[in-house]
């Protein structure tokens, strides 16, 4: 199972998600490949199908992209 809790990071005790957010903010290009599929909100059905059938669609992370309308 996956457990989230407190981590020691840069001499601080932080929640696991805080560490993840700090790493992502510091190195966004490192994590960009994790988003494999982007959808406009009008394509929500396709997004849900893709996210629920990840292996079929070879998806790691499907997200809604609100940029550009």
Per residue in 26-40, pLDDT (tens digit) is: 999 999 999 999 999
Residue 67: the pLDDT is 86
In terms of C-beta density within 10 A (0-12 exposed, 13-18 middle, 19 or more buried), how is residue 3 classed?
Answer: exposed
- Distance in angstroms (rounded) separating the CA atoms of residues 23 and 10: 11
Confidence of residue 2 (pLDDT cuts 50, 70, 90): low
Inter-residue contact 66 to 41 (CB < 8 Å): yes
Residue 1 clears pLDDT 90, i.e. is over it: no
CA distance 51 to 22: 25
pLDDT band for position 69 (50/70/90)? low
For 13-65, the pLDDT digits (tens) are 999 989 989 999 999 999 999 999 999 999 999 999 999 998 999 999 999 99
């Amino acid at each position: 199972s996956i457990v989230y809790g407190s981590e020691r990071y840069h001499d601080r005790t932080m929640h696991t998600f805080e560490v993840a957010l700090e790493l992502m903010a510091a190195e966004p290009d490192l994590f960009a490949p994790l988003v494999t599929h982007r959808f406009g909100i009008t394509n929500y059905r396709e997004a849900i199908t893709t996210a629920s059938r990840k292996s079929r669609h070879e998806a790691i992370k499907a997200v809604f992209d609100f940029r550009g309308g």
